[in-house]
């Protein structure tokens, strides 16, 4: 069974009695009864003073009337089709009052229930010919007018609507009866509509332009005039006059677009003047719409050659991820700055600095991106030179201590793999001080430089040779199988270093002492270097020109 029905009672100014019934279902989904969830005062009066709210039909009607009404309402729920009957004798109205009368009955499907209207035809005729004639003329007017007339109850439910709704919106009257007016309004315009309804409830007539739902799914622009219906000072409902203003809105939009194009040209000119020393580019969804002439000096293209091209095609593949990240930030309204490599007309890549921000229309909405572009090849070259100097030895060109430690730290954090070990070779040129003392520091520098070049040429591209200071050199081997691999590389390094070195008039032969340490899982970088250094000292203590392995 469904949960507790909503507690709602409403009144409206029509002569119909009105009840909203919610379907109650068993676990299989079959309807077994209906609960009264809302009714108006005219309906309540027909229950002989007994309030049926929150009660089921079986508890408020006689057995025969309950079964007949449940069957009727179940049919409407299952078929989702409204049911209308005229001049039914003893129609199954809630409460069972009115035996011997004839009734006009209308049952309209709701979400999971029905709206049940009925009218005593004898009572209606007794109200007199003048009232009937006035109602006939009003209905003729409402049903044949091009505008839509809509009547709601105090809860803002639609209880009557003119047939012209079909011409305007594609919905039939049965499609909207029983729904709240909010159901018909596009969500984006609903807050304004609710504000206007509050003013109507306070007694004011309101006119508002908003978008309504069309049956084909497209929004429909309409002008809605709402007038309150008061019953003894209480809001009993509203009368809505609704006019289709779609064509009028199209004309307004054309005028706005014309004004937008004019202001856009003025804005582009202003931005060009402000950024005349650099190139200015405007894009939409990554496509170049316009760029200023300095782009030719930066990348070699004329502005006409770039219009219509996709910016992603001009950016180095390695920089595309950063470009797209910045673009997503701009979409949120941020201003971003980045450096990219852009493809120049000659086929080379140029470094450019881009400062990009959302391009806003005169109305304030975002319509693409405007960027200021500057050539920065010289800046990048200078920065790279500084970075190189910070990580390399100026004499030998080898990596320095900080670069070697950074590499070892990276390798240390890597997940260990069997047969892919890291080894460190701590090397020292034997009796290097004698070289300086005998042949001078210039010769010593030559010996250091040539030794460094020979060692760097021998190792693999994944390995690193670094100068730690003085005559101490460090080799980082990434990917050796075992200790024997590392010792074999140390032997090869000793052989290549032992070849004579021409220092300009002198042929000098030097030897190399090496300490080998294979990284262990419990080593940090400092401990690994300490073990290799200890092995080096053991090599020198044991006669130099030899290899010792750390244990």
**Tens digit of pLDDT for each residue in 493-503?**
999 999 999 98
| One-letter-per-residue 3-state SS of 327-346 | HHHHHCCCCEEEEEEEECCC
Is the pLDDT assigned to residue 448 strictly greater than 90? yes
**Which element (helix H / strand E) includes 438?**
helix 432-439
222 and 273, same structural domain? Answer: no
Is the pLDDT assigned to residue 490 strictly greater than 80? yes
pLDDT tens for each residue of 86-139? 655 544 444 444 444 556 788 888 778 888 887 766 554 554 454 455 455 555
Distance, CA of 166 to chain centre: 38
Query: Residue 375: beta bridge partners?
Result: 352
Distance, CA of 176 to chain centre: 34
pLDDT tens for each residue of 213-223? 999 999 999 99
Instruction: State the Cα–Cα distance between residues 119 and 71, nearest whole angstrom.
Output: 20
Instruction: State the Cα–Cα distance between residues 396 and 464, nearest whole angstrom.
Output: 13
pLDDT tens for each residue of 171-201? 999 999 999 999 999 999 999 999 999 998 8
Is the pLDDT assigned to residue 48 strictly greater than 70? no
pLDDT: is 191 or 44 the higher one?
Answer: 191
156 and 139, same structural domain? Answer: yes
**Mean pLDDT value across residues 366-378:** 89
Is the pLDDT assigned to residue 3 strictly greater than 50? no
146 and 121, same structural domain? Answer: no
CA dihedral 450, 453, 458, 464 (to 10 degrees): 130
b (16+ CB within 10 A) / e for 503-527: beeeebebebbbbbbbbeeebebee
Distances (CA, A) of 228 to 10, 13, 147, 494: 15, 11, 18, 102
pLDDT at 6: 39
Is the pLDDT assigned to residue 358 strictly greater than 50? yes
What is the pLDDT confidence band of residue 272, given thresholds at 50, 70 and 90? low
**Which element (helix H / strand E) includes 454?**
helix 441-458
283 and 150, same structural domain? Answer: no
What is the pLDDT confidence band of residue 49, given thresholds at 50, 70 and 90? low
302 and 327, same structural domain? Answer: yes
Between 36-40, 287-291, 473-477, the lowest mean confidence (pLDDT) is in: 36-40
411 and 374, same structural domain? Answer: no
140 and 120, same structural domain? Answer: no
Establish if 268 belongs to a structural domain: yes
Domain that holds residue 356: 259-380
pLDDT at 144: 56
pLDDT at 277: 65
What's the longest Cα–Cα distance across the chain? 137
Is the pLDDT assigned to residue 14 strictly greater than 50? no
Last residue of a domain, one of 244, 270, 286: 244
215 and 279, same structural domain? Answer: no
Whether 200 and 238 have beta carbons less than 8 Å apart is answered as yes
Is the pLDDT assigned to residue 450 strictly greater than 80? yes
416 and 372, same structural domain? Answer: no
Number of domains in the chain: 4
- Residue 316 maps to which CATH number? 3.30.450.20
Spatial neighbors of 472 by CB under 8 A, at least 6 apart, are 426, 427, 428
pLDDT at 326: 85
pLDDT at 37: 85
371 and 300, same structural domain? Answer: yes
Which of 519, 521, 465 is CA-nearest to residue 493? 465
Helices 441-458, 432-439: axis angle to 10 degrees equals 140
Establish if 5 belongs to a structural domain: no
Instruction: State the Cα–Cα distance between residues 478 and 463, nearest whole angstrom.
Output: 6
Instruction: State the Cα–Cα distance between residues 455 and 479, nearest whole angstrom.
Output: 18
pLDDT tens for each residue of 303-337? 999 999 999 999 999 998 888 888 888 888 888 88
Is the pLDDT assigned to residue 227 strictly greater than 50? yes
Is the pLDDT assigned to residue 435 strictly greater than 70? yes
Is the pLDDT assigned to residue 486 strictly greater than 70? yes
What mean pLDDT value characterizes the chain? 84
306 and 209, same structural domain? Answer: no
Establish if 3 belongs to a structural domain: no
Sign of CA dihedral 144, 148, 149, 150: positive
pLDDT: is 416 or 157 the higher one?
Answer: 157
SS3 361: coil
DSSP H helical segments within 121-205, as ranges? 121-126, 129-144, 165-169, 173-176, 181-184, 190-201
Last residue of a domain, one of 244, 267, 282: 244
pLDDT: is 487 or 247 the higher one?
Answer: 487
Instruction: State the Cα–Cα distance between residues 97 and 28, nearest whole angstrom.
Output: 34
305 and 163, same structural domain? Answer: no
Spatial neighbors of 232 by CB under 8 A, at least 6 apart, are none
Whether 120 and 90 have beta carbons less than 8 Å apart is answered as no
Whether 259 and 362 have beta carbons less than 8 Å apart is answered as yes
Between 24-33, 249-258, 299-308, 525-534, the lowest mean confidence (pLDDT) is in: 249-258
pLDDT: is 341 or 327 the higher one?
Answer: 341
Query: In the chain, what percentage of residues exceed pLDDT 90?
Result: 43
HSE of 9, CA atoms in CB hemisphere, 13 A: 10
pLDDT tens for each residue of 106-120? 888 877 888 888 776
Q: Pairing mode, if any, of strands 113-120 and 219-231?
A: unpaired
């Amino acid at each position: 069974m469904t949960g507790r029905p909503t507690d709602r009672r409403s009144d409206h100014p029509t002569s119909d009695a009105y009840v909203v019934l919610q379907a109650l279902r068993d676990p299989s989904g079959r309807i077994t009864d209906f609960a009264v969830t809302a009714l108006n005062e005219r309906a309540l009066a027909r229950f002989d003073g007994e309030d049926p709210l929150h009660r089921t039909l079986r508890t408020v009607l006689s057995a025969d009337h309950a079964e007949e009404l449940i069957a009727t309402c179940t049919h409407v729920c299952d078929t989702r089709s409204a049911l209308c009957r005229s001049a039914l004798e003893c129609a199954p109205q809630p409460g069972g009052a009115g035996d011997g009368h004839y009734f006009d009955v209308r049952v309209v499907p709701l979400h999971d229930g029905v709206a049940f209207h009925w009218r005593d035809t004898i009572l209606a005729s007794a109200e007199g010919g003048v009232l009937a004639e006035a109602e006939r003329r009003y209905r003729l007017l409402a049903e044949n007018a091009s505008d839509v007339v809509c009547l709601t109850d105090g809860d803002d439910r639609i209880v009557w609507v003119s047939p012209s709704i079909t011409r305007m919106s594609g919905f039939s009257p049965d499609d909207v009866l029983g729904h709240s007016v909010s159901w018909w309004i596009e969500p984006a315009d609903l807050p304004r509509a609710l504000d206007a309804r509050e003013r109507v409830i306070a007694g004011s007539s309101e006119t508002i332009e908003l978008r309504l739902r069309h049956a084909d799914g497209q929004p429909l622009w309409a002008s809605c005039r709402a007038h309150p219906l008061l019953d003894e000072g209480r809001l009993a409902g509203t009368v809505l006059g609704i006019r289709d203003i779609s064509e009028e809105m199209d004309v307004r939009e054309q005028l706005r677009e014309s004004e937008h194009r004019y202001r856009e040209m003025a804005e582009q000119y202003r931005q060009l003047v402000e950024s005349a020393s650099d190139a200015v580019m405007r894009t939409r969804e990554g496509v170049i719409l316009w760029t200023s002439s300095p782009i030719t000096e930066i990348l070699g293209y004329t502005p006409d050659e770039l219009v219509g091209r996709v910016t992603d095609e001009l950016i180095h593949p390695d920089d595309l991820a950063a470009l797209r990240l910045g673009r997503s930030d701009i979409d949120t309204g941020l201003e971003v700055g980045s450096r990219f490599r852009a493809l120049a007309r000659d086929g080379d890549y140029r470094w450019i600095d881009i400062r990009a921000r959302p391009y806003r229309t005169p109305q304030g909405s975002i319509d693409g991106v405007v960027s200021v572009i500057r050539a920065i090849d010289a800046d990048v070259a200078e920065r790279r030179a500084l970075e190189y100097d910070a990580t390399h030895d100026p004499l030998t060109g080898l990596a320095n201590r900080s670069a070697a430690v950074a590499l070892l730290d990276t390798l240390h954090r890597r997940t260990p793999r069997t047969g892919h070990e890291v080894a460190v070779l701590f090397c020292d040129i034997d009796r290097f001080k004698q070289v300086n003392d005998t042949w001078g520091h210039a010769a010593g520098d030559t010996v250091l430089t040539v030794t460094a070049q020979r060692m760097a040429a021998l190792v693999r591209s994944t390995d690193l040779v670094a100068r730690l200071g003085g005559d101490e050199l460090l080799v980082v081997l990434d990917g050796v199988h075992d200790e024997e691999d590392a010792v074999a590389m140390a032997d090869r390094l000793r052989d290549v270093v032992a070849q004579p070195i021409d220092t300009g008039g002198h042929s000098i032969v030097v030897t190399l002492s090496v300490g080998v340490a294979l990284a262990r899982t419990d080593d940090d970088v400092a401990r690994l270097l300490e073990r290799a250094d200890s092995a080096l000292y053991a090599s020198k203590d044991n006669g130099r020109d030899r290899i010792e392995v750390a244990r």
